[in-house]
Amino acid sequence: MPPYSKHLISKDATTREALRQLDQLASDAILFLIDENGKLHGSLTDGDVRRGLINGLDADDSVLKFAFSSPRYIEKGNYQLQDIIALRKQDIKVLPVLNGNQEVVNVINLKKLKSYLPLDAVIMAGGRGSRLRPLTDNTPKPLLKIGDKPIIEHNIDRLCSFGIDDFWISVRYLGEQLEEYFGDGQTKSISIQYVWEQEALGTIGAVSQIDNWQHDYILVTNSDILTTLDYEDFFLDFLEKGADMAVATIPYSVDVPYAVLETSNHHVLSFREKPTYTYYSNGGIYLMKRSVIDRIPKQQFYDSTDLMQSLIDDGLKLVSYPMRQYWLDIGKPEDFEKAQADVKHLDL
């Protein structure tokens, strides 16, 4: 049973049974009444029970007699981030998530989540990890442990903390180990599906194989990144800029120890004394509208830089999101060692 099932109770249960279940939920005490198909029929809190008893109902009566018949809920794939922010401001915490048939597919707690982003997440985990051999001879790089859990699990748990619960993992090298480790994601109350690359398809090519998206926006990330990125702020920035695609970028400063002259036809126009130039490197984390995925050719080697160039060439809006949080690409042995030291001090 998924963890959120503790908030679910049969609509045919007695209120006495519901009270036992509410008692176990402590400060998060709310139950959602469902039928045999998981369809929502109401909600029940301690307050609902008290009011019912005051009005002459009995603890052995059906929960339906006590329940609130029109609880707040989120419809999967049909909500906006601003809806979540508004609910958070109203101090509404525990909510069921329904599919198109009004069946409960999750229960979220906005007191424990940083957000509930309307995004699908794709994690690219098919690479060989050659630079980390021999560590990757028998273990795929995403499953190498940083601290007490694998690199990729740090990423998944970070994304889960922002309410993302629809995942695809692109796999190739030793991908069976990733499938065995995470399964379908039910133990984390998420959905995980796998995209198999029969041959290397580049840094984003495998995404073209996915066609059952749950949301209008897609996040694609490399699996070998350790980061404390604020994904809600990243998404808000993407929306506010009206972007078609955004790339998280890493500021990289270069100090020039001499005066730099600007010249034209050997004439000095100006100079800067020991300037610092800031450049922005690709951080391997992308947000995009679902329509952008159509640009990725099927079953062809295709990199994220190819996709970005196609947007630039066609005049679509590609934006940079300069990261202010921790970010580390774990590509080389020295990066792996740094990650082992840094993870002890990160709020992941």
Evaluate whether the domain defined by 3-109 bears CATH number 3.30.1330.60. no
pLDDT over 80 at 1, yes or no: no
Please state the pTM of the whole predicted model: 0.87
Element (H, E) at 159: helix 151-161
pLDDT digits (tens, 9 = 90+) for 245-301: 999 999 887 888 888 888 888 787 887 888 777 788 889 999 999 999 999 998 889
Domain 119-345 belongs to what topology? Answer: Spore Coat Polysaccharide Biosynthesis Protein SpsA; Chain A (3.90.550)
pLDDT digits (tens, 9 = 90+) for 184-223: 998 888 999 999 988 888 999 999 999 899 999 999 999 9
The conformation of residue 179, written as its DSSP 8-state character, comes to: H
pLDDT digits (tens, 9 = 90+) for 46-73: 898 899 899 888 888 888 998 898 899 9
> What confidence score (pLDDT) does residue 121 get?
97
Q: Where are the domains of the chain?
A: 3-109, 119-345
DSSP assignment of 109-154: ETTT-S----EEEEEE-----GGGTTTTSSS-GGGSEETTEEHHHH
> What confidence score (pLDDT) does residue 241 get?
95
